[in-house]
Amino acid sequence: MNVIETPLKGLLLITPRAFGDARGFFLETYQAERYAEAGIEVAFVQDNHSRSSRGVLRGLHYQVAKPQGKLVMVTRGAVFDVAVDIRKDSQTFGRWHGVELSDANHMQLFVPPGFAHGFCVLSETADFHYKCTEYYAPETERTIIWNDPDIGINWPIATPSLSTKDSTAPRLRDVPPEDLF
């Protein structure tokens, strides 16, 4: 597997080794020892799967009381995946990194706790899978508005389909300090 460090400390882009031929392919999407050697020494406690249509944007989400680390990947279709550093003492606070994840490139993104996360769907449909280091705790979930001009994410979509929660979220500068890391 190939692991690339992004400009945001702790945010890792991973490409598992795929074995394929004319019949299809095989790849390990997670193997604890190998991922620990790459610096991802966490215990995953929950796996999630979401399906979304073209133009859907989900995020930017995070949990405050039980922050989640996530290992994310796409098994059908393609998404533009984004992580925003919301660690108050980080030199890259408020900066974002985005990458296209797809069923064709098999790439994964490890998003450590302390980041807000979101994605938008580029294909007709996308199946998005992610492993989490903490259980989902809706009472501690927070959202930052997807198009915050202070963050300046260059989304590849102008008018996404959003949930009410995502369309009415605050800007990063309006998030209470106790809701950041």
Cβ pair 118, 61 in contact under 8 A: yes
Cα separations (Å) of 35 from 138, 139, 177?
Answer: 28, 30, 32
Place of tokens 């009472």: 139
Cβ–Cβ < 8 Å for 82, 97: yes
Query: Which residue, among 118, 179, 109, 121, has the nearest Cα to 153 in the 3D structure?
Result: 118
The active-site residue, picked from 49, 61, 117, 135, is 61
130 is catalytic: yes
Q: State how far the Cα of 78 lies from the Cα of 120, in Å rounded to an integer.
A: 9
Catalytic residue, from 106, 129, 130, 135: name it. 130
Question: DSSP alpha helices (H): ranges in the chain?
Answer: 32-37, 164-167
Query: Which residues are catalytically annotated?
Result: 61, 130
